[in-house]
Amino acid sequence: MQPAANLNHAAVQVEDDRTGLTPETLKRAFLDNLFYIQGKFPRLATQHDYYMALAYTVRDRLLQRWISTAAAYTEQGSRTVAYLSAEFLMGPQLGHNLVNLGIYDIVQQAVADLGLNLDELMEQEAEPGLGNGGLGRLAACYLDSMATLEVPSLGYGIRYEFGIFRQDIRNGQQVEVTDKWLRLGNPWELPRPEWAVDVKLGGHTEAYTDRSGRYRVRWIPYQVIKGVPYDMPIAGYRTNTCNTLRLWSAQAPEAFDFEIFNSGDYLGAVQDKLSSENLSKVLYPNDNISQGKRLRLAQQIFFVSCSLQDMLRILARQGLALSQFSQKFVIQLNDTHPAVTVAELMRLLMDEHGLSWDAAWDITQRSIAYTNHTLMPEALEKWPVDMFGQLLPRHLEIIYEINHRFLEQVRARFPDDSDRLRRLSLIDESGERYVRMAHLACVGSFSINGVAALHTELLKQDVLKDFYELYPEKFNSKTNGVTPRRFMVLSNPRQTEMLNRTIGDTWVSRLDELKRLEAKAEDPSFQHDWHMIKQANKGDLANYMAKQNGLVINPESLFDVQVKRIHEYKRQHLNVLHIITLYHRLKASPNLEVPPRTFIFGGKAAPGYHVAKLMIRLVNGVAEVINHDPAMRDRLKVVFLRNFNVRLAQRIYPAADLSEQISMAGKEASGTGNMKFALNGAVTIGTLDGANVEIRDEVGAENFFLFGLTAPEVYALKAQGYNPWDYYQGDPELKQALDSILVGTFSRGDGEVFKPLIDSLLNWDPYLLLADYQDYVACQERVGQAFCDRTHWTRMSILNVARMGLFSSDRSIQDYCRDVWRTPAVPIELTDHAQLGE
C-alpha cells in the first residue's frame, strides 16, 4: 500500500504535490519549490537552494498535520501543556522531521534520483542552537515526546537572533564566533504577526479606584516592546500530531516609534527600535551560572508575558472563561528562567482582567508547575530588588504581597521561628536585597520536581528543605529522558537497522522493548555484528577527526569520550589527570600492557568563565604533547573536537566505547548525555551522581564502571575539613601529574599558564578531584582490561542498550502526564484543510 493512501484514509482525497508521499510526487514538489520558492533552476542552484527546496517540501507535509492538529485542539478545547523555557536546543530539523514523518528512505531515494545526496543537503542546514546544553536539549526532547504521545502542547520561548556561539579553537584556546543561524533564512518557521502582543517595561504604578469603588493599580511603563510569534512545527513520530513551538521575537511597536518620529527625532526613533530588538538578540551563553544581568531579566519577562497573553487569547477564542484557565492550560516552568510567570499571571488576571487577588491566586497556583534543574548555588537566580523594581515595578509589588501572605502562613505553622521565615522569604535580606526566583516558583506552583531520584532527594534535604517541610505534597521526581528518534534512529542508522532486524521496529516508540535484546547478548554472531557496527561508526568519527584535527586515529583504539559543557564540577580536568598519569606510566614502562586509547573531548565554556577556558586549553596542551610524541603513536591520542553542538553530538555518541560521567557526586542534577551514550552502546565510567545512579541500577553494576565518593561521603569529607594538599603529598603519581602541568610541560614551558587552575586544586579543590583521583585511575585500569576482552566488552555494550528503555523521554512525558499535567492524549485525524470552513 502507498503510504499516502495509508495516511489519508479520510473520505476526501488530499494526495497532491503538497501532501503526497510517493517518490514521484516528492520529486515534483521538490523541483516546484526550487523554481517557485528559491527562484532557481538546477544550473544556478547551490546546495543550499536544494536544501531549502527539500525543507519546504517536507514542511508542506508537516503543515497538513499541523493544521489538522490545530483544528482538532480548537474544536475540542483540549487541555494543553504550555512548556515555558528560555532555551530550546532543537538541533537540525530536516533529518529529524524525515524520521518522524516516516519518509527518510523515500526522500533519500527521491533525492538520489535527482542526482543529489541527502547527507550533503542536511549538512546545509544551520542548526538552531537556541540553548546551552542539557536543559535546552531536554526541552527539545520533551516536545518530540509530547507530539509522539499525542499530548496537546505549546512550547514557548525566545527566537534568539544569535543562538549559542560557534566555538573556534585557536592556539589551543576557545574563541567565540557569533552564530548567524538565520542568515540564509529559516524554512522551519512561520511568522504570525497577527498574534503579536505588547510587553511593558519600567516606569511606575498608580493606584486608583474603579467605577465599582474597588482599589486597583495601573502600570505606566517607560517602554513598550512588541513580541511577534514565530511558529515551528513539532511532528510526532508516526502520528498525525504536529504541535507548535512558539518563539517570540522582539520589535519596537510602530505606534511608539511614531510619537518620537512626529517630534522630529528620527534617529531617536530608530535608536528605540534598535534597543527594543536587542531583547531577543542573543542567548546568554551560560549553563548552570546566573549572571544577574538586567537584559536577561528583560528577556524573561518578555517571553513570559508574551506567552501568557497568548494563552489568554486562546482561552477567549475558544469561548472559555478566565476561571477555566487552569483546566485549559498547565504551565510547566523549565527551571526558574520563566518563574516571573507567577507574578505576571497575577498581574494580567487582576490588572488587565479585573479579577480579585483571591480569584487570581487560585488560578495561578492551580496552573503552574516548576522543574528545578540544578544544585549549583551559582545557578540559583536572584535579582537585586532595585533592578527588579526599576524594570518591573508592578511585579515587585505583587511579589511583596505574595510574600506577605505566604510568610503569614509560615508564621501560623511555625510560630516563633524567625530563622525559618528569613530562609523561606521570597526576598533575601541577608545583605543587599534580592528577589529569590526559586522561592517564587515554589510558592506559586502546585508541583515541584527534580530531574533524577538523587537530585530530588537532595532538593528535599538541602536546597529546598524548608519548602519540602512546608509543602511535602508538592514534591515529586521525574527522571529525565532523551528521544530515541534523534539520538538512535537518526544518528545511528547502523545500530537501528540491526535492532529492527532483531526485535522489529516498535522499540522506537516503546523503548522498553529493547529488553528483548538481552537474549542476544551471549550470541557470538550477534556480538560479532554488534562489534562491527561500532567499528564502522568509529571509522566514521575517525574520518571526521582526521578532517577536523588532522590526526590519524586508529578505529581499533578505545574511544574514551567526554562531551558536555566545560565546567569544574563536571571535572574534565580529572579526566586529564588520568591521561597525564597514563602518559607518564607509558613513558616509564614502554611495555605496559594497556589498550590503545583515543581520548575525545568536546564542549563549550561560558565566555566569561576563565577556569573553564583554561580547562580547554589544558586538554589541547596535553593533546599537543602526546600526539607529537613518537613513543605514543598507536598508543594514546587526545582530541578536542571544536564546536560541540547537536549535529556533532549525533556523530559522536554512536562511536563511543566509554562514556565519561565523572562529576562530583551531588552536583549533576541528572545528565542526559549519559543516557545518549548508553543507548548507543557505550559503557559508562561514572560517579553515583544524577541519573548515573538509575542508569547503573538498570544496566547492572557489572556493566558500569563505578568510582568515587558518594554524595553523603562528599558532605562528610567537607564537614570534617578537606585538605587537597594531603592527597598531593600522599600520591606520587598525582603529584607528578600536577607538577608536570605546573612546570609548563603542556604549555610549551610556560609555568604561568595553568597556575590558577593548579593553585585552585591544591588549595581549595571544591569538586574533590584530588580525593577521587586514585579511585578514578584504578577504575580506568579495570576499563582498559575489560576492553581487551572483546566478548566481555561487547556483551556489556549490548546489555547497556537492552536495559536503557527507561530513559526514553516518552517515559518521562508519560510520568509528567500522569502525575502532574493530567493531560489526556488527543489523537488527530488528517482532514482536508480546504474544507474545514464548511
- Binding of ligand GLS by 373 (CB under 6 A): yes
570 has catalytic annotation: yes
Q: Is 665 in the site for ligand GLS (CB under 6 A)?
A: no
Closest distance of CB 450 from ligand GLS, Å: 9
Is 815 buried (19+), middle (13-18) or exposed (0-12) by CB count in 10 A? middle
Q: Which range of residues in 102-110, 391-399, 405-413, 665-673 is near ligand GLS by CB under 6 A? A: 665-673
What b/e readout covers 516-545, taking b as 16+ CB neighbours within 10 angstroms? ebeebbeeeebbebbbebbeebbeebbebb
- Answer for which of 45, 426, 451, 490 binds ligand GLS (CB under 6 A) is 451
**Residue 544 Cβ vs ligand GLS, minimum distance, rounded to whole Å:** 25
* Contact set for ligand GLS, span 473-532 (CB under 6 A): 480
Q: Distance between CA atoms of 203 and 192, rounded to whole angstroms?
A: 29
Q: Which of 374, 447, 509, 598 binds ligand GLS (CB under 6 A)?
A: 374
Nearer to ligand GLS, 138 or 345 (CB): 138
Catalytic residue among 61, 394, 520, 564: 564
Find the shortest distance in angstroms from Cβ 372 to ligand GLS: 9
Q: Between the CA atoms of 247, 82, 233 and 106, what dihedral angle is there, to the nearest 10 degrees?
A: 140
Instruction: State which amino acid sits at residue 63.
Output: L
Binder of ligand GLS out of 135, 396, 779, 799 (CB under 6 A): 135
Q: Which of 244, 483, 672, 687 is catalytic?
A: 672
- Selected range binding ligand GLS among 2-10, 130-138, 225-233, 818-826, rule: CB under 6 A: 130-138
Question: Per rule CB under 6 A, is residue 288 in the interface with ligand GLS?
Answer: yes
Q: CA 615, 616, 622: angle at the middle one, nearest 5? A: 90
Is there a catalytic annotation at residue 672?
yes
Catalytic residue among 337, 436, 520, 570: 570
C-alpha closest to that of 499 among 469, 479, 520: 520
Quick check: 391 binds ligand GLS (CB under 6 A)? Answer: no
- Of 673 and 724, CB closest to ligand GLS: 673
Q: Which residue among 179, 257, 287, 810 contacts ligand GLS (CB under 6 A)?
A: 287
Among positions 91, 133, 233, 666, the unique one binding ligand GLS when judged by CB under 6 A:
133
CB of 666 to ligand GLS, least distance (A): 12
Q: Is 565 labeled as catalytic in the residue annotation?
A: yes
Task: Please say if 564 is a catalytic residue.
Answer: yes
Instruction: Decide if residue 668 touches ligand GLS (CB under 6 A).
Output: yes
Close Cβ partners of 257 (under 8 Å, ≥ 6 residues apart): 269, 272, 273
The CB-of-199 to ligand GLS minimum distance in angstroms stands at 25
Under the binding rule (CB under 6 A), the answer on residue 641 touching ligand GLS is no
Residue with smallest beta-carbon separation from ligand GLS: 134
Q: Tell me whether residue 450 or residue 654 sits nearer to ligand GLS (CB atom).
A: 450
Stretch that binds ligand GLS, among 426-434, 468-476, 666-674, 773-781 (CB under 6 A): 666-674
Closest by CA to 194, choosing from 156, 226, 234, is 226
Q: In terms of Cα–Cα distance, which of 408, 448, 410, 403 is closest to 427?
A: 403
Check if 474 is active-site.
no
Q: Which letter does DSSP use for residue 819 in this model?
A: I
Q: Is 22 a catalytic residue?
A: no
Residue of 394, 455, 534, 676 with catalytic role: 676
Among 81, 379, 463, 618, binds ligand GLS (CB under 6 A): 379
Comparing CA positions, the residue from 302, 184, 81, 241 lying closest to residue 816 is 81
**CA gap 701, 63 in Å, rounded:** 47
C-beta of residue 38 within 8 angstroms of C-beta of residue 45 = yes
Retrieve residue 700's grid coordinates: 547492572
Which whole-number Å values give the CA distances from 563 to 185, 638, 639, 640, 644, in the listed order? Answer: 30, 13, 11, 9, 7
Closest separation between CB of residue 564 and ligand GLS, Å? 8
Is residue 571 part of the contact set for ligand GLS (CB under 6 A)?
no
Q: Is residue 138 at the binding interface for ligand GLS, with CB under 6 A as the rule? A: yes
Residue 216: what are its φ and ψ, rounded to 5°? -135, 165
Q: Which three cell numbers stand for residue 607?
A: 565566555
With binding defined as CB under 6 A, does residue 672 bind ligand GLS?
A: yes
Minimum distance between the CB of residue 692 and ligand GLS, rounded to whole angstroms? Answer: 10
669 sits near ligand GLS (criterion: CB under 6 A)? yes
Instruction: Name every residue whose Cβ is closer than 8 Å to that of residue 705 and which is 6 or more positions away in sequence.
Output: 658, 683, 684, 685, 686, 779, 782, 783, 786
Half-sphere exposure of 357 (CA within 13 A, CB side): 10
Catalytic option among 373, 538, 578, 617: 373
Nearer to ligand GLS, 447 or 495 (CB): 447
Q: Which of 671, 686, 724, 784 binds ligand GLS (CB under 6 A)?
A: 671
Total of chain residues touching ligand GLS, rule CB under 6 A: 17
The contacts of residue 170 (CB under 8 Å, 6+ apart) are: none
Cα separation, 615 vs 739, whole angstroms = 16
Radius of gyration of the chain (CA): 28
Q: Which helix (H) or strand (E) holds 773?
A: helix 769-788
Which parts of this chain interact with ligand GLS (CB under 6 A)? 133-135, 138, 287-288, 373-374, 379, 451, 480, 668-672, 690
Q: What are the catalytic residues? A: 373, 564-565, 570, 672, 676
